[in-house]
A = this chain, B = another copy of it.
Amino acid sequence: MSPEWSDRPSSSAAGTGGEGEPEKRRAILRAAVEVFAEKGYQGCRIADVAKQAGVAYGLVYHYFRNKEELLESVFDQQWSIFITALRAIGERGGSAPEQLEEICRFAIDVFRNAPAAIRVLLLEVAHTPNTFRAGSTRETFEEAVEIVAGIVRRGKERGEVRVEVDPVVAAASLLGALELNLTGMLMGILGGTSEEEIERVKRGVIDLLFSGMTAR
Chain A interface residues toward B at CB < 8 A? 40-43, 96-97, 100, 119, 123-127, 129, 133, 138, 141-142, 145, 152, 155, 159-166, 168-170, 172-181, 183-184, 186-187, 189-191, 200-201, 204-205, 207-216
A208 contacts B165, C-beta separation under 8 Å: yes
Which residues on B sit within 8 Å (CB–CB) of A127?
Answer: 40, 43, 123-124, 127
Q: Complex formed: what's the CA distance from A141 to B209 in Å?
A: 22
Which residues on B sit within 8 Å (CB–CB) of A170?
Answer: 204, 208, 213
Number of copies: 4
CB within 8 Å for A172 and B161 given contacts A42-B40, A42-B43, A43-B42: no
B141 contacts A187, C-beta separation under 8 Å: yes
B208 contacts A173, C-beta separation under 8 Å: yes
Q: Complex formed: what's the CA distance from A43 to B128 in Å?
A: 9
Partner of A212, one of B152, B183, B212: B212
Which residues on B sit within 8 Å (CB–CB) of A186?
Answer: 126
B211 contacts A162, C-beta separation under 8 Å: yes
Partner of A176, one of B124, B160, B178, B191: B178
Q: Complex formed: what's the CA distance from A126 to B118 in Å?
A: 12
Which residues on B sit within 8 Å (CB–CB) of A119?
Answer: 126
Q: A159-B215, A172-B190 are in contact. List 12 more A-B contacts (CB 8 A).
A: A43-B129, A125-B183, A125-B187, A145-B190, A152-B213, A155-B213, A162-B214, A172-B180, A173-B208, A174-B177, A209-B213, A211-B212
